Amino acid sequence: MVMTFLRRELVLLARQKADWLNPLLFFIIVLTLFPLGVGPEPNQLRIMAPGIVWIAALLSVLLAAERLFRDDYRNGVIEQLVASRQGVMAFVLAKTAANWLSTGLPLVMLSPVVAMLLGVDKAAFIAMMLTLLLGTPMLSILSVLGAALTMSADKGGILLALLIVPLYIPLLIFASAAIEAAGMGLSYSGQLAILVAMLLLALALVPLAVASALRINVS
Amino acid sequence: MFKWLHPLAKPETLYRFCGHLFPWLMLSALTILLVGNVWGLVFAPQDYQQFDTVRIMYIHVPSALLSMSTYTMMAIAAFIALVWQVKVAQWSVLAIAPIGAVFTAISLLTGMAWGKPMWGTWWEWDARLTSQLILLFLYLGVIALYGAFSDRQTGGKVASLLAVIGVVNVPIIHFSVEWWHTLHQGASIMKFDTPSVHPSMLWPLLISLLGFYLLMLALVCLRLRTAILEHEQHRPWVRATLGGH
């Protein structure tokens, strides 16, 4: 059932390219703003790179989050799902997976380019890629949660950001700490382990909350 | 206990119950707060290193503890509202949220005022401070989320859901001083062996803490009564009670 939903999501994404291409372009544009804003001094950029990359990733995932459930809510798909009492969970998991495939994974694949742009050295680059690989699924899970909570709200947009950004903070702290440690030649397996722990915990619990948020919003 | 609690799920009974409770709570809260704070702020001894700045403790520590227990209380109410669909539980979530937000803000502001002379900085991105700031955002998120829905029923449920989700932050705040060892000091009172505060400072602190708790409960009673009236304004019992037309 998950695969059926996932295929549907991917087909929809393939037909609405702007939904996932725009956040990616946004990611790159935010990244180019930083060197222009803080000055192109290479050493300074290298120090700031972990924070810059992660903040740009957070913002671009947030940009994609707003439209996650909007269309399905408007054309009644979610209502039908909830009414049929089947597959809400599978739908949530497929939605999360599709969101990660369309926003998180491209960020991971773009990270070599980003590392080059910001002059990150090799050790920090590997750490950056690993944290993005482990952290972006968590971003997707949380943005699905935020989108589900605000699905039928009248003033969704900015509210979504207000709700979800505080939940992103722990992720941001550990991910940038890992990259920073790698940049100084230290071991960062501890931070990675915490990222994995947060991801597993979120994967186990958040879909339940999302499913009940969907039910509340259509009742 | 359920036999005793169950009638309170009825708005009318709860309204009267809170009405009976409120004057006692408020009176005792004000008396105890007066005793505790005057003792703490005027008569308790100075710290040998911090001098008079230590007196901020008698406001800072109770409000910080309160911000967390208020959140826990709100989350329990939210859980009851979601699982057993008790509507007064849902109203109490929204009654509690602003009170908790104010206590969180007080703890952050007094902490900043204390941090400036002691740590030499208003704000430090320390684990305890950051997680407390997230708590403030969670409170504000619950309030904002409720306000974003035109249907109050849905808004209340979604806000309750967020309150339950946010409860993961409470243990993080409590243990942040042990897990990260950053600038904020460790626990002095809330631990199992003997407290590391001298009795001459501990007693006024505990009395202030009790006063803060009573004040919080009194305010919750007051706000819950208002919320009940607001939601039930078209019911006959409200008209009978208030004598309106």
d(C-alpha A103, C-alpha A138), whole Å: 12
d(C-alpha A108, C-alpha A136), whole Å: 8
pLDDT of residue B95: 92
The residue segments making up the domain with residue A199 are 2-218
Selecting from A153, A169, A219 the residue whose C-beta is nearest the C-beta of B148 gives: A153
Q: Could you please report the per-residue DSSP string of B80-130?
A: HHHHS--HHHHHHHHHHHHHHHHHHHHHHHHHHHHHHHHHS-S----HHHH
Give the amino acid at A131.
T
Residue B244 lies in a domain: no
pLDDT at residue A110 is higher than 70: yes
Residue B2 lies in a domain: no
Residue B28 lies in a domain: yes
Residue B5 lies in a domain: no
pLDDT of residue B112: 87
The residue segments making up the domain with residue B225 are 13-185+198-238
pLDDT of residue B59: 87
Q: What is the mean pLDDT of chain A?
A: 87
Selecting from A149, A169, A170 the residue whose C-beta is nearest the C-beta of B162 gives: A149
Q: How far is A143 from chain B (nearest CA, A)?
A: 13
More confident residue, B185 or A212: A212
Q: How confident is the model at residue A188 (pLDDT cuts 50, 70, 90)?
A: confident
- The complex's ipTM? 0.73
Please give the structure tokens belonging to residue B134: 């997230």
Q: Which residues of chain B have pLDDT under 50?
A: none
Residue B147 lies in a domain: yes
pLDDT tens by residue, B163-199? 998 888 888 888 777 766 666 776 666 555 566 667 7
Q: Which residues pair with B51 in a beta bridge?
A: B47
pLDDT of residue B76: 93
Chain A CB contacts of B172 below 8 Å = 170
Q: Cβ of A166 and B149 within 8 Å?
A: no
pLDDT of residue B215: 93
pLDDT at residue A184 is higher than 90: no
pLDDT of residue B180: 67
pLDDT of residue B48: 65
b (16+ CB within 10 A) / e for A116-132: ebbbbeebbbbbbbbbb
Residue B26 lies in a domain: yes
Q: Cβ of A169 and B134 within 8 Å?
A: yes
Q: How far is A166 from chain B (nearest CA, A)?
A: 6
Residue B181 zone, left/alpha/beta (φ > 0; ψ -120 to 50; rest): left
Phi, psi dihedrals of residue B151, rounded to the nearest 5°: -90, 115
Q: How many domains does chain B have?
A: 1
Residue B191 lies in a domain: no
pLDDT at residue A155 is higher than 80: no
Q: Cβ of A150 and B148 within 8 Å?
A: yes
Place of tokens 């309160």: B66
Q: Cβ of B158 and A216 within 8 Å?
A: yes
d(C-alpha A109, C-alpha A126), whole Å: 12
Q: What number of other Cβ atoms are within 10 A of residue A154's Cβ?
A: 12
pLDDT of residue B216: 93
d(C-alpha A34, C-alpha A53), whole Å: 10
Q: How confident is the model at residue A172 (pLDDT cuts 50, 70, 90)?
A: confident
Q: How many domains does chain A have?
A: 1
Chain B CB contacts of A155 below 8 Å = 148
A34's enclosing H/E stretch is helix A17-38
pTM score of the predicted model: 0.81
